[in-house]
Amino acid sequence: MTRPLFGCIEAGGTKFVAGIVAGPDDVRETARFDTLTPDETIGATLDWLRAAQDQHGMLAAIGIASFGPIELDRNAPNWGHITATTKPGWSDTDFAGRIGRALGLPVGFDTDVNGAALAESRWGAGRGKPACVYVTIGTGIGGGAIVDGKPLQGLSHPEMGHIRIPRHPKDMQFPGICPFHADCLEGLASGPAIKARWGMSLSELPSDHEAHSIIAWYIAHMVVTLQSIMEPGCVILGGGVTATPALLDRICAQADELGRGYFRGKASDIIVAPGLGDKAGLLGGLALAQDILATPS
């Protein structure tokens, strides 16, 4: 029996990546599209998926790991929509429903970070770990947690970038850049928040610049708060900021110092880099497509 083929979409605010995927190590073809208007970008993705299906064979399901916020409640009239986003033109966009109707296929739909968290927990750095958290720290900060194989959510998906953390003693004046919450984690430690204070990225600053320890301190506070709330078996840190050389080591050391041995997981054992690299997004689509195919309809 041949493996089912899935159409996978990693939908970001800057670009979409679409792929025909049979397994985590079996990506048949991919394509990229700039994120323009919904009609242009969703239309181009659909055209490509149709053509790819003609070439590679029938797809079994679609998986979409999307920028947000999105509506996840399958009983809501606007399930599958991108909801109140700051991305111009994309608020209240029917996305998953449109793709599913156009192709006549079931669609798994979740946030980009929940998709990446699922993929990392299934095939990457989080394999076999109870409560696997994936956080990306770049232009924004977002995260997802996988518990018992499923994304953790209540009324909606997490918005982990918006947790509140203490201010670093050497960083009391900067107001923070989050348009909603000023000095939440994203307002203090995202890429734009770093540029707003120091004029360049963490990687461009000298390695002895205090920005490194300040940003590591903020991210370590997030880790300790996650430990307090769910004792994750791993915290996978992705994104451009986290890729700064030596930052992960600084975060680990700082988080262990903050935890003072109180938590079961030693921070330096649970904080890891992504295992799937830049494939986590597309493979998030794969995980979501697999799961929707396995869901009784």
> Which among 24, 255, 229 is positioned nearest to 145, based on CA atoms?
229
What's the closest the beta carbon of residue 186 comes to its own copies, in angstroms? 10
Q: Does 68 help bind its own copies (rule: CB under 8 A)?
A: no
What's the closest the beta carbon of residue 18 comes to its own copies, in angstroms? 29
Q: What is the DSSP letter of 182?
A: B
Residue 58 backbone phi and psi in degrees, to 5: -60, 135
Task: Name the residue nearer to its own copies (CB basis): 42 or 214.
Answer: 214
Q: Does 167 help bind its own copies (rule: CB under 8 A)?
A: yes
Q: Does 164 help bind its own copies (rule: CB under 8 A)?
A: yes
Binding-site size, its own copies (CB under 8 A): 48
Task: Name the residue nearer to its own copies (CB basis): 122 or 221.
Answer: 221
Cβ partners under 8 Å of residue 148, min gap 6: none
Of the candidate residues 26, 245, 264, 273, the single one contacting its own copies (CB under 8 A)? 264
Q: Give the residue carrying structure tokens 């720290």.
A: 137
Q: Which residues, numbered 2-41, are part of the site for its own copies (CB under 8 A)?
A: none
Q: Does 54 help bind its own copies (rule: CB under 8 A)?
A: no
Q: How would you class 14 by CB atoms within 10 Å of its CB: exposed for 0-12, middle for 13-18, buried for 19 or more?
A: exposed
Of the candidate residues 112, 159, 256, 291, the single one contacting its own copies (CB under 8 A)? 159
What's the closest the beta carbon of residue 163 comes to its own copies, in angstroms? 4
What order of strands is seen across the sheet that includes strand 150-151? 150-151, 141-147, 132-137, 234-238, 271-272
Of the candidate residues 37, 86, 207, 228, the single one contacting its own copies (CB under 8 A)? 228
Task: Name the residue nearer to its own copies (CB basis): 9 or 145.
Answer: 145
What's the closest the beta carbon of residue 268 comes to its own copies, in angstroms? 14
| CB of 12 closer than 8 Å to CB of 25 | no
The span from the CA of 32 to the CA of 30, in Å, is 7
Q: Count Cβ atoms below 10 Å from residue 28 Cβ, excluding itself.
A: 15
What's the closest the beta carbon of residue 180 comes to its own copies, in angstroms? 5
What's the closest the beta carbon of residue 232 comes to its own copies, in angstroms? 5
Q: Which residues, numbered 98-137, are part of the site for its own copies (CB under 8 A)?
A: 129-131
What's the closest the beta carbon of residue 12 comes to its own copies, in angstroms? 21
The span from the CA of 33 to the CA of 8, in Å, is 13
Of the candidate residues 262, 294, 296, 297, the single one contacting its own copies (CB under 8 A)? 262
Tell me the CA end-to-end span of the chain in Å, nearest whole number: 23
Q: 72's torsion region: left (phi>0), alpha (psi -120 to 50) or beta?
A: alpha
The residue range among 45-53, 60-68, 106-114, 140-148 that interacts with its own copies, by the rule CB under 8 A, is: 140-148
